[in-house]
Amino acid sequence: MNPSRQRILVIGACGQIGVELTLALRQIHGGNDVIASDLRDEHVLLRGTGPYVGLDVMNKEMLHVLVIRHNITQIYLLAAILSATGEKSPGLAWHINMQSLIHVLEIAKEEGLHRIYWPSSIAVFGPSSPRQSTPQHTTIEPSTVYGISKFAGERWCEYYHRKFGVDVRSLRYPGLISYKSEPGGGTTDYAVEIFHQAIRQGSYTCFLGPETFLPMMYMPDAIRATIELMQADPSRITVRSSYNLSAMSFSPAGIAEAIQKHIPGFRISYAADYRQQIADSWPQSIDDREARQDWGWKPRYDLPAMVADMLKNLDGGSAGSQNV
Ligand code: VAH
The pLDDT assigned to 139 comes to 97
In the residue annotation, 243 being an active-site residue is answered as: no
Distance 280 CA to ligand 1 centre (A): 13
Ligand 1 mutation pick, 78, 124, 146, max ligand atoms within 8 A of CB: 146
Is a pLDDT exceeding 90 seen at residue 183? Answer: no
Count of Cβ atoms closer than 10 Å to residue 311 Cβ: 19
Q: What is the mean predicted confidence (pLDDT) over 145-173? A: 98
Is a pLDDT exceeding 60 seen at residue 323? Answer: no
Distance 186 CA to ligand 1 centre (A): 5
Distance 43 CA to ligand 1 centre (A): 21
User: Considering only CA atoms, which of 173, 206, 209, 210 is closest in space to residue 192?
Assistant: 206
Distance 174 CA to ligand 1 centre (A): 7
The pLDDT assigned to 2 comes to 66
The pLDDT assigned to 64 comes to 98
Residue span(s) of the chain under CATH 3.90.25.10 come to 175-216+247-314
The pLDDT assigned to 4 comes to 77
pLDDT tens digit string along 13-40? 999 999 999 999 999 999 999 999 999 9
**Residue 170 contacts by C-beta under 8 Å, 6 or more apart in sequence?**
117, 118, 119, 120, 153, 154, 157, 241, 242, 243
What DSSP character marks residue 10?
E
**Residue 165 contacts by C-beta under 8 Å, 6 or more apart in sequence?**
none
Return the CATH fold of 175-216+247-314.
UDP-galactose 4-epimerase; domain 1 (3.90.25)
User: Considering only CA atoms, which of 264, 136, 252, 120 is closest in space to residue 194?
Assistant: 252
What DSSP character marks residue 124?
G
> Do residues 288 and 243 touch, judged by C-beta distance below 8 A?
yes
Q: Is 323 or 122 the better-scoring residue by pLDDT?
A: 122
Is a pLDDT exceeding 50 seen at residue 279? Answer: yes
Class level of CATH domain 8-173+219-244:
alpha beta
Is a pLDDT exceeding 80 seen at residue 203? Answer: yes
Residue 182: pLDDT band with limits 50, 70, 90: confident
Residue 322: pLDDT band with limits 50, 70, 90: very low
Q: Name the catalytic one among 146, 160, 173, 179.
A: 146
Q: Regarding beta strands 203-206 and 171-173, do their DSSP bridges make them parallel or antiparallel, or are they unpaired?
A: unpaired
Residues with CB under 6 A from ligand 1: 82-83, 121-123, 146, 173-175, 186-188
pLDDT tens digit string along 54-108? 999 999 999 999 999 999 999 999 999 999 999 999 999 999 999 999 999 999 9
Residue 324: pLDDT band with limits 50, 70, 90: very low
pTM over 0.85: yes
Is a pLDDT exceeding 90 seen at residue 316? Answer: no
Is a pLDDT exceeding 90 seen at residue 232? Answer: yes
Residue span(s) of the chain under CATH 3.40.50.720 come to 8-173+219-244
Average pLDDT, the chain: 95
Report the nearest atom of ligand 1 relative to the CA of 122.
Answer: 6
User: Considering only CA atoms, which of 59, 53, 74, 78 is closest in space to residue 173?
Assistant: 78
Q: Which spans in 176-218 are helix H?
A: 190-201
The pLDDT assigned to 315 comes to 86
